[in-house]
Structure 1
C-alpha cells in the first residue's frame, strides 16, 4: 500500500529534522526515513554555538534538563610536534560561546520534536520518478525528497551519480564514559591540537561524565595511525586516563568550497553533509546542517507544491550566498612549501591575538556569520 506525504526527508540527523520541523510548523505532512533507530551512536565532536539554539527556538535550560549541555567559555590551543604539543594559548570568554552536546541525545530530541511521521530502521533502497512524484522503496510517495543522509546520502548519490574524487575530510572520535576516572580536561575549556601542516587537528573535550577525543585531517592517509599516536600522547601527558577505551569509529564529510555536489534537482534538495556544507576552517557541520535544513524548508514553502528544478535553483544560490561557492582552487596549505608553512603555523598558533580573532572567533565560532534570515528573494 502506498503512503503519501507532502515531503519525504531521507535522514533524521540535524539537517533532516530541522527541515521536517519547519515544514510541519507550516502544516505539511512530512515523513522522515532513516536506516537507523534513535537514539543512535553518532561519531562527532558534538558542540553547537548559540545561533543553533536560537534559530531552532530551543530553550537551553529546557534542553539541558536531563540531557548534556556543557557550556564552553574558553579554548586551549597548541601546535603538535614530534615531541607532543608546543606552548598553549588559552582564550577565555565572559559567557558561553558554545555548548557540548551528545549526538545520541541531540539528534533524538530534534527528530522527536519535529512532529514528522518517523519511518526508522529502513534504508532508502529504491527511488523512482512517476508523473511528477517520487516513489521511495515502492511504498512512500511525495512530490519532493530532501536528501539529509550525510556524506553517504543515497539521495545525493542518486542526484550526482557514482562517487567521484571528492576532497574528503576524514575523522575518528571516541566518547567514552569516564566512570569516575581522573581527567585533566576541564568541561568548559576544550583543548585543540593543530597539525604542523595545518591539514588537521585533534581535540579533547569533556562533557560531564563523558570525554570526547578525536582527530581529523584533510587527507585520510594513515589517519588511524595519526589518531593512535595522538591518543597515546594524551595518555603519556596525563591529559586523559590511561585505561580509556580506544575503539575509534569514524566518519567523512565534504568541506564547503570544495564540494562538487549539485544540491538541487527536479523535486530534490540536498541539505547538510549530503550537500557538502561543513565549514572549511573547522570542519564543523551542525550549524550548516540546521541552517540548510531550514533554508530548504523555506524554499519549498514559497513554491506552492511546484518543485521542478528551475524553481528550486534559488535554494542553490542561497546556499552559495550563505556558505560560499564551491571552488576548484587548491588550498593555501597545498601551495606553500612545508618548511614555510610549518614556520608560519608555529608563529601564528603562538599568537594570542591570532588565536582569538581568527582561529577561535572566526574559524570555529563563525562570529562573523549573521543570524539566518529570510531568503534574499522569493523563488
Structure 2
C-alpha cells in the first residue's frame, strides 16, 4: 500500500494546477487519471489572458510548437439571422488545443502520476481513503469532470435537480483545400445562439484546426440542433462541406444550477467535478483553474481535513462565484428577460453582443484576476 497526504483523481487543468500549486508545500501528492496523456479532450478550446496570467504561463514560450491562436474579434448571431462582428482592438482570448494545453500543465507536475488507470474503488479505511486497494490518503480530491468518481461519494446534493448541459463537438485538422475554402477566421470565433435560447453553437478556428460544436440543456434534441446548425454553416460557406463523421459528446453542470456539495470529511471537489462552469457561457477552464488555486490555499493552511476545516474552500468559492440558486427554474445560461421578443433585436446589436454577450458573459472582463499564487 502506498500512502500520500492527498490523492487527486483527474489530471486535467484543475488537478494539474492543484498539484503544481502544492509543489513546495511538503505534502505528498499523487495524481490518478484513467486516460494516458496527451489525450483528446472534448472542449471548444479557448482561454482568456486572465487564465494564462493566473497560471503564470509565458504565452510567447507556450506558443512555440503549440497552437496558440490570438483572438481579437467575435462573430455572434442567432441561428437563422445574420451575425454581428465586433473588433475588440486587442487580444481578448486565445484558441488552444486541449491535448496540448492539458499536457503542458501536467508536465509541470513533478510528483508521482498514475495515468491510464481508472478508479474502480474508493473506500473508507479508518481516517483514510483507500483507492483501488493500492493507494491511501486522508484526503481525496475530485478533479475528474462531471462523472468524477470522487464526486459520486458526495452525491448530487439536495433535491438532485441539477440541470446538466450536454454538448457535441468535433476538432480536426483541415486539408489545405478545406482551409482555403473555410470562411471562418482564426482570430474571430463564431457563437450562434439557438432561437429558443436553450443553448448555442460555435465555430473556433485555430490555424488549420477547426472546432465545431453545440451545447444545450435538452439532450434529447441535441443531435437534431447540431445537424441543422452544421448544414446551415455549410450552406453559408463558414465550414467545409466534408467533416469527420463522429462528433464527441460531453456533459457538465452550470454553476447556478449545480447542487453538489463541495467538501466533506476528507473530500474536496474542484473544477467540473464541483459543477463550476460559468452559468452564462458554460466555460469551465477559468473556474477549474481558480478553484484549484483556492483549494491549494486552503490545504496549505488547514489544520486537518475535516469538513469544517475544508469549508474555508467552499466559502471562498461562494465569495468568488456567488451563491448558487438551487431553486432556479431549469434554464440555459441566458437570463429570463432575454427569452422574449427582445432576443432577436438584441442579437443584432453591436453594443449588446460586445458589452454583454462577449465581454461580460464569455470573457468575464469585469472579474478581477485571482490573487492566490500558483
TM-score by length of 1: 0.93
Alignment match, 1:264: 263
TM-superposed deviation, 1:129? 1.9
Work out which of the residue numbers 81, 95, 99 in structure 1 matches 2:90. 95
Aligned 1:99-138 pairs, distance under 5 A: 99-138=94-133
Instruction: Tell me if the contact between 1:203 and 1:214 (Cα under 8 Å) persists in the aligned partners.
Output: yes
- Deviation by residue 1:134-192 (Cα, 9 ceiling, x = unmatched): 11111111121110010000000012269944200111110011021221111000011
Query: Is residue 156–residue 259 contact of structure 2 (8 Å, CA) maintained in 1?
Result: no
1:188-223 deviation line (CA, Å, top 9, x unaligned): 000111111211111111111110001011221210
Q: Which residue of 1 aligns with 2:135?
A: 140
Aligned residue in 2 for 1:242: 241
Structure 2 match to 1:201: 200
State the 1:337 CA deviation.
9.5
User: Partners in 1 of 2:24 and 2:359 — Cα distance?
Assistant: 33
Question: 1:256·1:325 contact (CA, 8 Å) conserved in 2?
Answer: no
Mapped to 1, the partners of 2:8 and 2:61 lie a distance apart of 27
Contact kept? 2:34, 2:116, Cα under 8 Å: yes
For residue 322 of structure 1, what is the aligned residue in structure 2?
320
Distance 1:336 1:120 in 2: 41
Residue 24 of structure 1 aligns to a residue whose secondary structure is: coil
Do the aligned residues in 1 keep the contact of 2:161 with 2:259 (CA within 8 Å)? Answer: no
1:72 corresponds in structure 2 to 71
Partner of 1:309: 307
How far off is 1:14 after superposition? 0.5
Partner of 1:172: 168
Structure 1's consecutive aligned runs of 4 or more residues displaced over 3 angstroms after TM superposition are 161-165, 331-338
1:37-56 pair list within 5 angstroms: 37-56=36-55
Question: Residues of 2 paired with 1:274 and 1:337: CA distance?
Answer: 27
In the alignment, structure 1 segments of 5+ residues that lack a partner are: none
Unaligned runs of 5+ in 2: none
Q: Following TM superposition, by how much is the alpha carbon of 1:131 offset from its aligned partner in structure 2, in angstroms?
A: 2.5
From 364, 367, 372, give the equivalent of 1:366: 364
Q: In 2 relative to 1, CA 341–257 (structure 1 residues): closer, same or farther, beyond 3 Å?
A: closer
Q: Deviations over 1:253-295 (max 9, x none)?
A: 0000110100101111000000000000000000000110111
8 Å CA contact retained: 2:197, 2:334: no
CA distance in 2, matches of 1:281, 1:191: 16
SS at match of 2:218: coil
Asked if 2 retains the 8 angstrom alpha-carbon contact of 1:200 and 1:217, the reply is yes
Q: Deviations over 1:15-40 (max 9, x none)?
A: 11111110113332211000000011
Aligned equivalents of 2:324 and 2:332: distance in 1?
18
- Are 1:159 and 2:154 counterparts? yes
TM superposition score normalised by structure 2: 0.94
State whether residues 69 and 207 of structure 2, in contact with CA within 8 Å, keep that contact through their aligned partners in structure 1: yes
Give matches, 1:26-45, under 5 Å: 26-45=25-44
**Would you say how many aligned residue pairs link Structure 1 and Structure 2?**
368
Per-residue deviation at 1:374? 4.2
Output the CA distance in 2 between the equivalents of 1:368 and 1:329: 24
How much does 1:331 deviate? 6.1
- Closer, same or farther: CA 218–269 of 1 in aligned 2, 3 Å: same
Measured at CA, do residues 334 and 269 of structure 1 come closer, stay the same or move farther in structure 2, by a change above 3 Å? closer
Which whole-Å CA distance do the structure 2 matches of 1:9 and 1:65 have between them? 29
Q: CA RMSD in A?
A: 2.1
Which 10-residue stretch deviates more, 277-286 or 130-139?
Answer: 130-139
Asked if 2 retains the 8 angstrom alpha-carbon contact of 1:196 and 1:342, the reply is: no
